[in-house]
Amino acid sequence: PGDGHDIVVADVAKSGHLSGHLAGQQFDGLVNNAGIAMTSALHESDEDEVRRLIDTNLLGSLWILQASVPALKAAGGGVIVNIASVLGHRPLPHTGIYAMSKAAIIQMTRAAALELARDHIRVNALAPGYVVTDLNRDFLSSDAGVNLQKRTALRRFANPAELMPALLFLLNPANSYMTGETLTIDGGMSASL
């Protein structure tokens, strides 16, 4: 927040909540960062958990994109950065449902880039690897997390601040010829798998 930036907190799984939050707002850039995680084998996934994850990660991201387009058009264009995941390119065991939702975000990014280019709206995605947050700190310090860290080229996980340069690059108006792309920032994890 500040410096012309704002954070909007809303129930992204319900499209009506978003249009109310964004109605009348003026902005030319959006970071579409809605998401939750779950770990389970595909064949053991709980239906309610799957629906909650898809409603949040996929549909919530779509509703945010839809709600933001009027303001971006009114601004004469702008940029949307969808937050995907390296798992959207390359899932690991027990991440299938989450990986499916993030793969869909990557495809949504490509489709939206094609559809919104005529309105001077660029749409790209950032696909981070594992980032240490309160949400996943316990997993990342578990035996499975330690093994995953060993398979990452840099032998560590990111902290959130390390994603900012890539995010700012994607938001920068000087980056006006890039759309429909996914930038992966994963410490070399995907290169070493």
Residue 21 lies inside a defined structural domain of this protein: no
Q: CB neighbours (10 Å) of residue 97?
A: 22
Residue 16 lies inside a defined structural domain of this protein: no
Write the Ramachandran bin of 188: left for phi over 0, alpha for psi from -120 to 50, otherwise beta: left
Locate 75 and state its tokens.
């601004």
Domain that holds residue 179: 26-192
Residue 156 lies inside a defined structural domain of this protein: yes
Catalytic annotation on 98? yes
Three-state DSSP class for 29?
Answer: strand
Catalytic residue among 63, 98, 130, 157: 98
Residue 16: its pLDDT value, please? Answer: 67
Q: Which of 193, 192, 185 is nearest to 158 (CA)?
A: 185
Number of domains in the chain: 1
Separation CA 139–CA 171 (nearest Å): 31
What is the residue whose two structure tokens read 């930038």?
183
pTM summary value: 0.92
In CATH, what number is assigned to the domain containing residue 78?
A: 3.40.50.720
Residue 171 lies inside a defined structural domain of this protein: yes
pLDDT in tens, 51-108: 999 999 999 999 999 999 999 999 999 999 999 999 999 998 999 999 999 999 999 9
Residue 2 lies inside a defined structural domain of this protein: no
Kindly state the average pLDDT of the residues 177-191.
Answer: 96
Residue 171 clears pLDDT 80, i.e. is over it? yes
Task: Compute the chain's Rg from CA coordinates.
Answer: 17
